[in-house]
Amino acid sequence: MSPQTHDITTLADPLVAVDSLTTQDAYTSICRVPPNLHGRDLYTQLPEVRVRLSALRQTFEQQKASRAIARLQQRSTLIIDEDYIIETDDPDYCFSCKKSFLDFILVVGAKKGLAMFIPHVVVDHTFSIDLNLRLHIKQFCAKHGTVGFDTTGAMWCVGQTRSEELWIGMAPNTFFNSEVGTFIKAKDSGDPRLSTRHARIMQTFIIWLLTKLPGRHYELEDPYATDLTGVWQIDSNAL
């Protein structure tokens, strides 16, 4: 019986697989907006306990990892010990800081448009923006800053530079009216992310603008036929 020969190159195609997920695919899967709030209901059903700040400090100093992880299975209410509370108007205390650090800065444009994305310098050869139209699921967290209007359902992250995040805010007309008083942010502000309908309207509008760039081959057949409620996605190879 003569030996048989096999072409090993024919075995390659069935074995081909993607090495790993892209960063965007992982981010989209993790941060996808849930279709309902069932998870929040489950959280409210967790047993609630009162935890003192001193107890958390003791857990940290003793490096009790198992105890810290166990707290994740319960709904905790933090109680600050009286020893840790200092009245800011007490004349016996003096606050000082030997070092200062600027870890957050919020810049809001005073006029309509995206001109504020461009650095205010004569020439910057390193300036670039990675436009990403799939970041509408990203939460806007301004820490202690305020953009000057209610951010509920009005913020859309469209890209980033080396050290900045770029957001488009859907500001009301009153924001540009100097006669209107200063906006005061409420503690119970709603979700800042655009609704699915508004996000798709903005995505379609930006894509339509890209089709107007000379020398570029972006295509958008009928912007007014865009499905604003169904399942759809943007081709990452095109943008």
Instruction: Report pLDDT digits (tens) over 42-90.
Output: 777 888 889 999 999 999 999 998 888 888 888 889 999 988 888 877 7
> Within this chain, do residues 69 and 119 fall inside the same structural domain, yes or no?
no
> Within this chain, do residues 129 and 58 fall inside the same structural domain, yes or no?
no
* 21: confidence class by pLDDT, cuts 50, 70, 90: low
> Within this chain, do residues 51 and 134 fall inside the same structural domain, yes or no?
no
> Within this chain, do residues 221 and 120 fall inside the same structural domain, yes or no?
yes
> Within this chain, do residues 165 and 211 fall inside the same structural domain, yes or no?
yes
The reported pLDDT for the residue numbered 187 is 66
> Within this chain, do residues 161 and 220 fall inside the same structural domain, yes or no?
yes
User: Which pair of tokens denotes residue 216?
Assistant: 């570029």
* 15: confidence class by pLDDT, cuts 50, 70, 90: low
Is the residue at 152 inside a domain?
Answer: yes
- Residue-range definition of the domain harbouring residue 217: 115-225
> Within this chain, do residues 153 and 202 fall inside the same structural domain, yes or no?
yes
Residue 193 CB contacts under 8 Å (≥ 6 apart), including other chains: 33, 136, 137, 138, 139, 140, 153, 155, 156, 199
Contact 192, 140 (CB under 8 A): yes
Is the residue at 90 inside a domain?
Answer: no
Is the residue at 5 inside a domain?
Answer: no
The reported pLDDT for the residue numbered 59 is 92
Q: What percent of the chain has pLDDT over 70?
A: 77
**Angle CA 101–104–105, to nearest 5:** 115
| pLDDT surpasses 60 at 115 | yes
**Helices vs strands, H then E, count in the chain:** 6, 5
> Within this chain, do residues 79 and 161 fall inside the same structural domain, yes or no?
no
- If one counts the domains in the chain, the total is 2
- Summarised one tens digit per residue, pLDDT across range 161-211 is 777 889 999 988 888 877 766 777 766 678 889 988 898 899 889 889 888
> Within this chain, do residues 161 and 214 fall inside the same structural domain, yes or no?
yes
> Within this chain, do residues 163 and 73 fall inside the same structural domain, yes or no?
no
Cα 235 to the center of its chain, rounded Å = 21
> Within this chain, do residues 125 and 213 fall inside the same structural domain, yes or no?
yes
Is the residue at 230 inside a domain?
Answer: no
Mean of per-residue pLDDT scores for the chain: 78
| pLDDT surpasses 70 at 1 | no
Is the residue at 146 inside a domain?
Answer: yes
> Within this chain, do residues 65 and 130 fall inside the same structural domain, yes or no?
no
First and final C-alpha spacing in the chain: 58
